[in-house]
């Protein structure tokens, strides 16, 4: 087992396609290489929340089962949310965003260059792009949200170095049947993720978090 170059605590190694890991002792964001661990930033402190998901939760997406191995928490001026990293093994993963009782499962996609140019144009012009439509991988989506976001904290295994306070521009698009696309651009990269909304039960979850503070009352009389 490796040890954190900042505090010396034992840390996990990398996973295929996920070369970053956070230190649970000092919150260092660490890049795992064959020659050892390098600190590339601060992962921030994950705030308390009441999500039923946790690292170690198992979910099945259209028959393919994976395990949550990491999380990023993102915020904008009016709120924050979790992006859970679902690892299918062998370097394949998806993000699971929690939103008002729904779970948006998104995988990175590489559409035609002109589609990416159009999304970049819409991302640049800001709020006036709301309601515009874009064809992505043969489906038509409508721009529903454009915002500046920043990373609050991250934990576990992660694909890219996203330290606390890291900023992105984010463009969300939806279709009428639960389909979703998110375009994001930051100082390092621009990417596109496509997927759709699920109810938690549709993802056949196991090893959900046991939320404290609620127990079955005894004798049938609630306190």
30 binds Zn ion per the rule CB under 5 A: no
28 binds Zn ion per the rule CB under 5 A: yes
Q: CB of residue 38 vs Zn ion: minimum separation in angstroms?
A: 12
> For Zn ion, which residue of 3, 25, 58, 137 counts as binding (CB under 5 A)?
25
Upper half-sphere CA count for residue 2 (Cβ side, 13 Å): 20
7 binds Zn ion per the rule CB under 5 A: yes
* CA gyration radius, the chain: 19
Q: CB of residue 41 vs Zn ion: minimum separation in angstroms?
A: 12
> For Zn ion, which residue of 20, 23, 53, 164 counts as binding (CB under 5 A)?
23
Q: Which is nearer to Zn ion, 29 or 203 (CB)?
A: 29
3-state secondary structure string across 113-142: HHHHHHHHHHHHHHHHHCCCEEEECCEEEE
> Of the ranges 25-33, 69-77, 89-97, 161-169, which one interacts with Zn ion (CB under 5 A)?
25-33
Residue 82 neighbours by CB under 8 Å, 6+ apart = 49, 51, 53, 71, 72, 73, 97, 98
Q: CB of residue 67 vs Zn ion: minimum separation in angstroms?
A: 24
CA distance 150 to 185: 12
Q: Which helix (H) or strand (E) holds 59?
A: strand 58-61
Q: Which is nearer to Zn ion, 23 or 106 (CB)?
A: 23
Q: CB of residue 186 vs Zn ion: minimum separation in angstroms?
A: 25
51 binds Zn ion per the rule CB under 5 A: no
- Which positions from 73 to 112 touch Zn ion by CB under 5 A, shown as an x/- string? ----------------------------------------
6 binds Zn ion per the rule CB under 5 A: yes
- Kindly give the residue spans of alpha helices, DSSP state H, lying in 14-141: 113-125
3-state secondary structure (DSSP) of residue 218: helix
61 binds Zn ion per the rule CB under 5 A: no
> Of the ranges 19-27, 53-61, 114-122, 163-171, which one interacts with Zn ion (CB under 5 A)?
19-27
Q: In Å, how far are 51, 192, 209, 218, 223 from 54, measured between CA atoms?
A: 7, 25, 6, 28, 29
List residues binding Zn ion (CB under 5 A): 4, 6-7, 9, 23, 25-26, 28
């Amino acid at each position: 087992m490796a040890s954190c170059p900042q505090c010396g605590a034992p840390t996990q190694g990398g996973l295929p396609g996920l070369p970053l890991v956070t230190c649970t002792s000092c919150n260092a964001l660490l890049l795992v290489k064959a020659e050892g661990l390098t600190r590339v930033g601060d992962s921030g402190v994950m705030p308390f929340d009441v999500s039923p998901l946790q690292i170690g939760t198992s979910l099945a997406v259209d028959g393919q089962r994976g395990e949550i191995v990491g999380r990023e928490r993102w915020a904008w001026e009016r709120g924050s949310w979790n992006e859970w990293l679902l690892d299918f093994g062998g370097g394949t993963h998806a993000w699971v965003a929690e939103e008002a009782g729904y779970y948006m499962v998104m995988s990175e996609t590489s559409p035609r260059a002109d589609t990416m140019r159009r999304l970049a144009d819409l991302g640049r012009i800001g709020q006036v792009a709301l309601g515009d439509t874009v064809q992505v991988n043969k489906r038509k989506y409508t721009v529903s949200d454009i915002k500046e976001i920043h990373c609050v904290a991250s934990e576990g295994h992660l694909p890219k170095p996203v330290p606390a306070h890291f900023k992105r521009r984010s463009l969300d698009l939806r279709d009428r049947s639960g389909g979703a696309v998110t375009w994001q651009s930051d100082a390092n990269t621009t990417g596109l993720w496509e997927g759709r909304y699920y109810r938690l039960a549709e993802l056949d979850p196991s090893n959900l978090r046991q939320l404290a503070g609620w127990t079955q009352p005894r004798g049938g009389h609630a306190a």
